[in-house]
Amino acid sequence: MTEAMPSPLVLGTMMFGTTIDETTSYALLDRFVERGGVWLDTADCYAFWASENGHGGVSERVLGRWLADRPGVREKVRIATKVGAEPLEPGSWPARRMGLSPGAVRTAFAGSLDRLGVDRVDLLWLHQEDRSVPIEETVGALDGLPVDRFGVSNHPAWLVERGRAHARTIGARPFDALQLNATYLRPRPGTLPPGVAHRFGVLSDEQADYAAEHGMDVWAYTPLLSGAYDNPDKDIAEVYDHPGNTARLAVLDEVAKEAGATRGQVVLAWMLSRGLRPMLGGSKLHQLDAAFDGVALELSADQVQRLDDVDRADWADPYAQGWARQ
């Protein structure tokens, strides 16, 4: 059997072991690897809001059992996990969470290694900003951990730059990845889409420009609006209801028809053309297969240009300045 080519798609495992049972989780993981998937994304806090005890760790434990049950699979996948958002007590989030103090980072990371059953991870994310701790202290705590790469999720660009600057000063590895909410549609200014609980959680033009200028990887969560692009039983959230998106949806429909693909598949292909790595959080095998087909879809230069230019001028678009160089 010919081995599948590595795919840029990321499998988000947030609900594994809670709303997605272990049998289904294993099936999704197996299919992901079968189709060339490499990156698995989890967090120490997943999914505290759906767990029996109000704490996270369930997703990491499922991944750990799957890795143990599949000898050799660890060499085929890369694991990304996050620290900082686990509630201190059930029901205490967001007021009381582990945060990003040096002690909290080391304790949380040790717990993740134990649950995953590994001795290192490929990428460690700071899950959300913690203004109570200087970023320099957090960066110092990261240095020396058995991690290949570091990234930040739900942080403003200026704080990312401060952390990167300090890492360079102490000879540590700087953050080289951002994880934020992004999709083809854009929310109205001043609003947050469903599922985004952080004021800096939606990819902005400034964050996009910063990532482009510094050659940073950008991971996009909830790229398919939880299925609303194509599922007639799901409404696109009200925060996306504005004239700019009316025009975007019209062009999206045109390109989907031309390509013989779904809206969501075109969105995934467009995101890759912009240098974004989409993260899938689906719970069904057919959703996973459709997403793989989407990232394999090749849009023409004209189709990409039409999707890009529908509601904005080139001078306002950080993508046009070379984000897709990555």
Q: What is the pLDDT of residues 125-176, one digit of tens each?
A: 999 999 999 999 999 999 999 999 999 999 999 999 999 999 999 999 999 9
- Check residue 319 and give its pLDDT: 46
E strand or H helix that includes residue 251: helix 243-259
Residue 2 lies in a domain: no
**Torsion sign (Cα): 113, 118, 120, 121:** negative
Torsion of CA 138, 143, 146, 149, to 10 degrees: 80
Percentage of the chain modeled with pLDDT above 70? 94
Residue 170 lies in a domain: yes
Which residues are catalytically annotated? 46
Residue 178 lies in a domain: yes
Whether 323 shows a pLDDT value over 50: the answer reads: no
Average pLDDT over residues 109-113: 98
Whether 55 shows a pLDDT value over 90: the answer reads: yes
Binning pLDDT at 50, 70 and 90, where does residue 256 land?
A: very high
Average pLDDT over residues 1-11: 81
**What is the b/e burial string over 174-183, where b = at least 16 CB atoms within 10 angstroms of the residue's CB?**
bbbbbbbbbb
- Check residue 5 and give its pLDDT: 78
Q: Name the domain count of the chain.
A: 1
What is the extent of the structural domain holding 281? 10-314
Binning pLDDT at 50, 70 and 90, where does residue 314 land?
A: very low
The CATH number of residue 115's host domain is 3.20.20.100
Query: pLDDT (tens digit, 9 = 90+) per residue, 235-245?
Result: 999 999 999 99
Average pLDDT over residues 200-226: 96
Beta bridge mates, 111 = none
Residue 147 lies in a domain: yes
- Check residue 282 and give its pLDDT: 85
Residue 120 lies in a domain: yes
The mean predicted confidence, pLDDT, of the chain is 94
Residue 26 lies in a domain: yes
Residue 4 lies in a domain: no
d(CA 235, CA 122): 36
Whether 324 shows a pLDDT value over 90: the answer reads: no
Residue 117 φ/ψ region, left for φ over 0, alpha for ψ in the -120 to 50 degree band, beta for the rest? left
Residue 320 lies in a domain: no
Yes or no: say if 237 and 194 are a contact pair by the CB < 8 Å rule. yes
Q: Which residue would you say has higher pLDDT here, 179 or 323? A: 179
